[in-house]
Chains A and B, each alone.
Chain A
Amino acid sequence: MEKLRVGIIGSGKIGTDLLFKTMKSRYLEPVFLVGRNKGSEGLQIAKELGVEASAGGIEFLEENTNLYDCIFDATSAKSHLINNKIFKRYNKTVIDLTPAKLGPFCVPSINLNDCVNQQNVNMITCGGQAAIPMAYALKQVFKSIDYLEVVSSISSDSAGIATRENIDEYLTTTEQSLSFFSGAKKTKAILNINPAKPSVYMQTTLYAYGDFDDLELMVSSVEKMEAIVSSYVPGYKLVIRPTFEKNRITLSVSVKGQGDFLPEYAGNLDIINCAAIMTAEHKFLN
């Protein structure tokens, strides 16, 4: 069967894990992993797996436009601004895992169909991919959400230096995307980094204030969404069912990674990669 030819730029942990996930996909064929540093571990692994590895950066992608149909960009927001000019010129579909936010926000359990014809879609943040499906499930039963708050805890080992130096961008992007998908009047995002050993799974808790009638209906809406998300993120699990306490709804999900390349505790990195893979597969099938 013919597959979608996918390139990956960014040979760090996210890019390397994407390579493993792409190889597992029935619809995607990884054609290369591109980085900038010849010595990078990711490029070495790609070679061992028999996938072309290049340290040629965006220039490599510009010279080889005939090799790929779709590209995952796992570099940085700053690099993505430059890279996307090339992708646009050659009309390549881009799934952007950086916080550059050039394309529309994409959450596979919610708006895949709106994303099919976009040249560039943005995968938001790990906390966004965990929380937004639940926020959207709440929206279905709330008459209106006045305030929505999302707290994520991630393990220290899964929080690289880029995450740490860009906490501000993480918080504002997560807040912005939450209000976009839930219609909440006010949103707040919080991030905790926990150094416990063994490393902890990602956990995301939502607090929602607003008008609703039926708690049972809410539970079923949330459980339905849990099933949809866990179809593409196997480790996604509701750990606090919607609970009414202190005049608010509380619910919580835990995300265990698949351990493709990154360790299982790195559910935060797994979920954004799973979302990216799902988006690419959907583009291929439609």
Chain B
Amino acid sequence: MNQKIIISDPTLRDGNHALKHQISCQQIEQYAVAAEKAKIDVLEVGHGNGLGASSSLLGLSKESDISILETARHNCENTKLGIHFIPGFAKNSDLELALSIGVDIFRIASHCTEANVTRRYIEKVKSSNKIAYGVLMMSHMANVDELLEQASLMQGYGADGIIIMDSAGFSTPTLVRNNINHLTKNLDIEVGFHAHNNLGLAVANSLTAIECGATIIDACVKGIGAGAGNTQLEVLIAVLEKQNIPMNTSFKDVVDLVKSADEIFDSFMPSITCSTIASGMYGLFSGYLSHVERISDSLNIDKYALYERLRDRKLVAGQEDIILEEANILASG
């Protein structure tokens, strides 16, 4: 294994789920400076569901996309600036904004079976000579052949890489091995992996992905992200270093980043609870957590029964509105 692993840090994007989309420009500035110092390859910023996703449905952002992007751009030099973009939430005008501010990496995402919604946007990014990754979210909801088929579509649109997102934190190392092996064998472009820690497997799953040829790995400082959080950056870096896997950052660099993060985010850290375990076990989008907690508390209903009902609806990311509908049904007995 000679190729360097690209460490892509979405603390300021996925972390926004955990912090209810309230990360401020001041926090962005401070964290970006620290990430740059820690030689993090890519820093991803924005609302938890990406550009244009600040909404009543998901949660309104404290800061506008333009302020977020401008602040981050101003403070990233060697660290590349990335954004998450889901067609249906974000529009072409959002993409143009990000291009004009000089974002480096565009992660154009869809539910794992709906890749053809990304075509126009991937093509636009590529015609602007920027890096475009195709992102397949909720990857546990497609089988390995479907994943390859959808990833191949994105490759055909011009994507420079494919990121597989275990958005629900549902996957085990066996599932990751099957999926990533098949993709790295059959695609001509880089493959990346984005884990959630609902079942305590985020680091193990990320390491498995690397062993199967993935070269882009998402990890957040202290794991700050949706649900039980993402792959914990400092643990991942320690494990990779121990295995002699090459990368630009090091455990020593990351120690300082964690120190800064403690100051910036007031020692916040996500945790694995029975609620996040249930969410992962049932394969629900990790971002649902705060909505399920709020609604089940206010209607005084059993949140595990609610999780079961949501599982039966086979929801994709972005269907937070269904939580209230199902909760009402439970509440009315």
Checking B57, B91, B298, B315 against A194 with a beta-carbon cut-off of 8 angstroms, the contacting residue is B315
Decide if B321 touches A151 in the complex (CB within 8 Å). Answer: yes
- On chain A, the residues within 8 Å of B113 by CB distance are 156, 195
Interface string of A181-206 (1 = CB under 8 A from B): 00000001011111110001001010
Once A190-B88, A194-B315 are accepted as A-B contacts, the answer to whether A240 and B120 lie under 8 Å apart by CB is: no
Decide if B91 touches A153 in the complex (CB within 8 Å). Answer: no
- On chain B, the residues within 8 Å of A49 by CB distance are none
A190 to B325, CA, bound (A): 18
If over half of A's interface residues share one DSSP class (helix, strand or loop), that class is named, otherwise mixed; here it is strand
B:79-135 near A, CB below 8 Å: 87-89, 91-92, 111, 113-114, 116-117, 119-120
Nearest chain B CB to A247's CB is how many angstroms away? 10
Looking at A50-58, A85-93, A111-119, A159-167, the stretch in contact with chain B turns out to be A159-167
A231 at the interface (CB under 8 A from B): no
- On chain B, the residues within 8 Å of A248 by CB distance are 56
Nearest chain A CB to B147's CB is how many angstroms away? 13
Once A167-B87, A195-B111, A203-B322 are accepted as A-B contacts, the answer to whether A149 and B316 lie under 8 Å apart by CB is: no
A232 at the interface (CB under 8 A from B): no
A243 to B327, CA, bound (A): 13
Decide if A149 touches B55 in the complex (CB within 8 Å). Answer: yes
Decide if B314 touches A165 in the complex (CB within 8 Å). Answer: no
Decide if B119 touches A240 in the complex (CB within 8 Å). Answer: no
- On chain A, the residues within 8 Å of B55 by CB distance are 149, 151, 188, 190, 207
Decide if B56 touches A207 in the complex (CB within 8 Å). Answer: yes
Nearest chain A CB to B52's CB is how many angstroms away? 9
- On chain B, the residues within 8 Å of A203 by CB distance are 321-322
Name B58's closest neighbour in chain A (CB-CB).
A190
Checking A161, A168, A239 against B116 with a beta-carbon cut-off of 8 angstroms, the contacting residue is A161
Which of A161, A192, A207, A252: most chain B CB closer than 10 A? Answer: A192
Decide if A193 touches B114 in the complex (CB within 8 Å). Answer: yes
- On chain A, the residues within 8 Å of B173 by CB distance are none
Decide if A205 touches B120 in the complex (CB within 8 Å). Answer: no
Using a Cβ–Cβ cut-off of 8 Å, how many residues does chain A contribute to the interface with B? Answer: 32
B:183-215 near A, CB below 8 Å: none
Name B121's closest neighbour in chain A (CB-CB).
A168
Interface string of A136-168 (1 = CB under 8 A from B): 000000000001010101001000010011011
B178 at the interface (CB under 8 A from A): no
- On chain B, the residues within 8 Å of A48 by CB distance are none
- On chain A, the residues within 8 Å of B322 by CB distance are 153, 203
Nearest chain A CB to B207's CB is how many angstroms away? 30
Decide if A193 touches B111 in the complex (CB within 8 Å). Answer: yes
- On chain B, the residues within 8 Å of A243 by CB distance are 324, 328
A151 to B55, CA, bound (A): 10
Interface string of B300-329 (1 = CB under 8 A from A): 000000000000011110110110110010
Task: Please list the residues of chain A having a beta carbon within 8 angstroms of any beta carbon in chain B.
Answer: 147, 149, 151, 153, 156, 161, 164-165, 167-168, 171-172, 188, 190-196, 200, 203, 205, 207, 209, 239-240, 243, 245, 248, 250, 252
Task: Please list the residues of chain B having a beta carbon within 8 angstroms of any beta carbon in chain A.
Answer: 55-57, 87-89, 91-92, 111, 113-114, 116-117, 119-120, 141, 298, 313-316, 318-319, 321-322, 324-325, 328
